[in-house]
Amino acid sequence: MHITYLLLGSNLGNSRNYIATALSEIEAKLGIIEKRSSLYQTASWGKYDQPDFLNQVIELKTKLNPQDLLSGILSIEAFIGRKRFEKWGSRIIDIDILLYEDLIIEKTDLSIPHLYLPFRRFCLMPLCEIAPAFIHPRLGKNIQELLLELSDDLFVKKLS
């Protein structure tokens, strides 16, 4: 089994419901959710004229390799109704692979660790809640250190 960290996000419609559905689908199709962060209300990153997001990070144990995991994630997003119109635009569900063990992968359709992870408070705060000592394989720093060094000051509030 492989350990991976996924970020779930939603800022359209009933975001709590979409995240709950995504969690159920992930457990049914991709692996075992070992840990869940709290839900966080977060400001939009990259495109600021849209509603706040709900975000959550999970630790997933999976038998799937990274490419098959990505395919499963895209299938779950499509099942829930995700449509891709614009980069960083509003969405009913978004599921990103943040980390997959200590792998470094750079492909056109898959980058692990997630390229923007070290720059986003809305990723690092929930990740730090469940995996503060995890070492970023490219940067050699743990998640807590990355959060402390972060310059992103966008709004992130722990909800539950």
Catalytic residue list: 82, 91, 94, 96
Alpha-carbon distance 147 to 121, whole Å? 7
Cα–Cα separations (whole angstroms), residue 142 to 59, 97, 148: 16, 17, 10
**Looking at the DSSP assignment, which residues form a beta bridge with residue 60?**
4, 33
Task: Return the beta strands (E) in 78-133 as ranges.
Answer: 94-100, 105-106, 111-112
Token code pair at residue 9: 């996000």
Give CA–CA dist 76/29, Å, rounded.
9
| Cα torsion 126, 98, 80, 30: sign | negative
Instruction: Kindly state the tokens that stand for 56.
Output: 């959550």
Give CA–CA dist 96/10, Å, rounded.
12
